[in-house]
Structure 1
């Protein structure tokens, strides 16, 4: 792979992108990110680049590019491969655990992310406190604390602050619901 690729590999690793490196048909190795194949080309050779793209490579990068451009191209491919959960204007990236609402990033702590993900897997449904304790805290009993309420309050603040319509609702007597359109449907 050569020393030329080392700074790119470090930058990708710092961003959580996992690389798999395999020998290529050219004298340069292939880099795999998810299902995408990227050829690291040691020299700027447009004809070899065209052959690689025609043969199915998703991208060709090399030391002739600025490091930031190389990293951005590889991250773009990695991002396209990442599974996501979308609920209305909310996007949850399941691999790197990033959350966005309306295109705005929402930084979450691990427990907040776990709560949101559990609610997001059943949008529009009320999830009981007992179920959240089992699913997120791995407790089969009520510890008698207000941990669920505190975490839900923090999550609500992060998820709904700055938006006209809240997505996270407390459903009296039933639990909590994440509603894609922001409104809790009155259900019996």
Structure 2
């Protein structure tokens, strides 16, 4: 039987008591649960491919920290040109420089990043990012795009964020990348 665990924002799947020994899996990482402190068994598990071994013999904080370390090492990422998204931590870098974003800015930029070079309409952004099925008549999209441009494009040789007249906004990974319709 499998059960789900959550540790500081990471969802983990743990095989139940029927498995020998119980395992916590994060993506391709395997962490074994050892019921008693047995250094020889721990060494065999590590030699056999386990990334770590945890158990009740260690402080709970240490076990959680070991699991989180492995989860962060295998964190999914998305790259668009020189823009890098750390999807678990919700962090963004451009050319290795961290770019602090508010939650809505991150969601808006990520939505565009999942469609590189594609023009996304204002209405589509309102539906996807703001979860609105109608146009509220505000300039929220434009204001957020302006803030993103200041954070993402200022100080770089070419802008990634583009306004496509009559079609919407696009995140273009190359300086003169071709745009597709949405």
Q: Normalising by the residue count of structure 1, what TM-score does the alignment of the two structures yield?
A: 0.70
Residues 120 and 187 of structure 1: CA distance in aligned 2, closer, same or farther (over 3 Å): closer
Q: Give yes or no for contact 1:177–1:184 (8 Å, CA) kept in 2.
A: no
How many residue pairs get aligned? The number is 172
Asked if the contact 1:92/1:99 (under 8 Å) is kept, the reply is yes
Q: Deviations over 1:39-93 (max 9, x none)?
A: 3666582x333310233312246888xx78x83x544421343332221122223
1:50 to 28, 43, 48: 43
CA distance in 1, matches of 2:125, 2:43: 53
Following superposition, the deviation at residue 160 of structure 1 comes to 2.1
Gap regions ≥5 residues in structure 1: 1-11
Aligned: 1:109 with 2:102:
yes
SS in 2 for 1:149: helix
Judging by fraction of residues, say which structure has more strand.
2
Match of 2:129 in 1: 136
Residues 1:121 and 2:123 are matched in the alignment: no
Cα distance change on mapping 1:114 and 1:186 into 2, 3 Å: closer
> Secondary structure of the equivalent of 2:10?
coil
Question: So what's the TM-score if we normalise by structure 2?
Answer: 0.72
Aligned to 1:157, the other structure's residue is in SS state helix
CA shift digits 1:101-152 (9 cap, x unpaired): 2222222222112211211111112112122122222333322211110011
Work out whether residues 38 and 59 of structure 1, in 8 Å CA contact, stay in contact via their aligned partners in 2: yes
Work out which of the residue numbers 153, 157, 169 in structure 2 matches 1:164: 157
Q: 1:186 and 1:127 mapped to 2: Cα distance?
A: 10
C-alpha distance in structure 2 between counterparts of 1:50 and 1:147, whole Å: 56
Structure 2: gaps of 5 or more residues? 1-5
Answer yes or no: is 1:96 the counterpart of 2:89.
yes
Q: Secondary structure at the match of 1:37?
A: strand
